[in-house]
Amino acid sequence: MNFWCLLLIFFGLYSAKQASAEDFESSILRVYSHVQKPDYDAPWSGRSSERLTHMGVMVDADHILVAAFAVTGARHFEVEKLGDSRQYPMELTYVDPTINLALLRFSRDKPRGLKVLPRGRDIGLDDTVSLYQGLEGESLVPTPLRLREVEVKPIFLTGYSAPQYVFELKRSGFGWFEPVIREGKLVGAAIAQAGSFVYALPSRVIERFLREAKHKPYRGFAELGFSLSPLTSPDLRRWAQADSLGSQVGAWIHSVDPLSSFGKILKDGDILVELNGVRVSSRGTYQHSRWGRISVSEILSDMGEGQELTVKVLRDGKIKRYTAKAQRSRPVEDKLVPALGDEPPYLIFGGLLLQELSKGLIESWGSQWRKRAPLFYLFEEAFQSLGNRQDRKVVLQRVFPLEYNKGYHDLENDFITQINGVPITHIDSVREALNKPEALQSGYARFSLEPGGDEIILTYKGLDQVHSVLRQRYGIPEKAHFWEPPDQKL
């Protein structure tokens, strides 16, 4: 057999293995979510419903895997098979915003000829894949890509750090859960795009979510409960008594969460030497067999709540070993700045609109919210405090211009830190502080604001009339959350 025959046979076998876009049109579906986002300047009224388009993947006979951002704030869902104009109702089965994944189930009937998309293993650096997009048009459009690197970076919904594939792609419009496919199998799903880079969850994360979604109770994804910083400065290493480790071993531990499993074990300034037997470099990385140098926290992507997590640390020049149960990443509702999708908790007092700070409120500044939102809001969102799980930031979202609150009309977008001397930690504490007997007796409510240090002092007298004017002038319904004296039914 001559060379040309062998070459023809090779390319024939190669092309036989390559799946076409049509092969996946029964497995990759278009998902519509109907969202009614809150109006943070008028939280008593919802905005008009908006239909958003996402992509989903058949993972079993009845379920479609989608991104959590596809279901956040959505009222109902529909799915459409490419080439079939009929839309089928879906219902939410499970969502884990921590890892940005959710499952939808067919409510009644479903399209004919659906096929489960088989799932493959994690890919390695320089492996080639196809990213399939079908948000518009009647067919899937594949884009060939090569895996550039893998980063452990925060999921934008919650800030939880997880391994993500990094692909370079000059075109925009990706990150809507486009499937990443290699050799006819699902190996990832794109969840974000920043500039010319597309980020995708690897198959191991997807597999773990699907496995845990069937487990009761859901064990979720584990987190370290502390942060790591590079320990590369020679002076810092000498000061930390880390010379015995060599120059390339051990990362600096800081920001230990007091509520985590290691909260009462580790200390800021400890040096992490090993995590579950894996040697930690001075940059907080280790050598992954397929992904090269990567953050050691990647190890937790395979761990669930309750599994043993062992650390070896250097403290005061001595090696110490500790073991604790891995703790599930703190739920979104326990975050200081939660990603709320429903009506935000709020209260109106004399034309002051007070409400809890949330990711949704920050993003209400539009697509450029990272540049337009108040800097101190962005700081709280990026560096969430680790205090009491019930803590929230309450903001002065709006001051309705009334003669009653004249002089305070330019104090919007500040934090309310105290009312009548009572620390404010959530919207219910606002009611409690306003109901303080001493304040009611004095006849005045006193609000302390940050970061400017301003104060607002308003009388309780005549509030009923003020609130009546607000209802009439701004069309605020009776059911809106106005403050009422404690002797009246709220």
pLDDT tens for residues 225-245?
Answer: 888 999 999 999 999 898 888
**Cα–Cα distances in Å, from 422 out to 100, 380, 437, 445?**
37, 21, 12, 11
Mean pLDDT of 300-309: 83
pLDDT band of 302, cuts 50, 70, 90 = confident
Model confidence at 210: pLDDT above 50: yes
pLDDT band of 126, cuts 50, 70, 90 = very high
Mean pLDDT of 143-160: 87
Q: For the chain, give the percent of residues with pLDDT over 90.
A: 51
pLDDT tens for residues 369-384?
Answer: 778 888 877 777 666 5
Distance CA(152)–CA(133), nearest Å, equals 25
- Per the structure, the complete domain to which residue 469 belongs is given by 335-474
Mean pLDDT of 272-300: 93
Give domain status of residue 285, yes or no.
yes
Give domain status of residue 208, yes or no.
yes
Of 328, 362, 389, the one marking the end of a domain is 328
Residues 366, 312 share a domain:
no
Which residue did the predictor score with more confidence, 345 or 368? 345
Residues 251, 199 share a domain:
no
pLDDT score recorded for residue 342: 58
Residues 60, 208 share a domain:
yes
Model confidence at 117: pLDDT above 60: yes
As a whole number of Å, the end-to-end CA separation of the chain is 90
Give domain status of residue 71, yes or no.
yes
Of 192, 218, 244, the one marking the end of a domain is 218
Model confidence at 489: pLDDT above 50: no
Distance CA(216)–CA(183), nearest Å, equals 33
Distance CA(436)–CA(433), nearest Å, equals 5
Residues 162, 78 share a domain:
yes
Mean pLDDT of 432-452: 92
Of 218, 252, 269, the one marking the end of a domain is 218
Residues 388, 285 share a domain:
no
Residues 310, 244 share a domain:
yes
Distance CA(151)–CA(164), nearest Å, equals 5
DSSP string, 379-407: HHHHS---S-TT---EEEEEE---STTTT
Residues 276, 211 share a domain:
no
pLDDT score recorded for residue 19: 60
pLDDT score recorded for residue 476: 92
Other C-beta atoms lying within 10 Å of the C-beta of residue 105 = 15
Residues 404, 467 share a domain:
yes
Model confidence at 66: pLDDT above 90: yes
pLDDT score recorded for residue 282: 93
Model confidence at 33: pLDDT above 50: yes
Q: Report the number of distinct structural domains present in the chain.
A: 3
Q: Are 45 and 39 in contact (CB under 8 A)?
A: yes
Mean pLDDT of 436-453: 92
Q: Are 112 and 54 in contact (CB under 8 A)?
A: no
Average pLDDT for the chain? 85
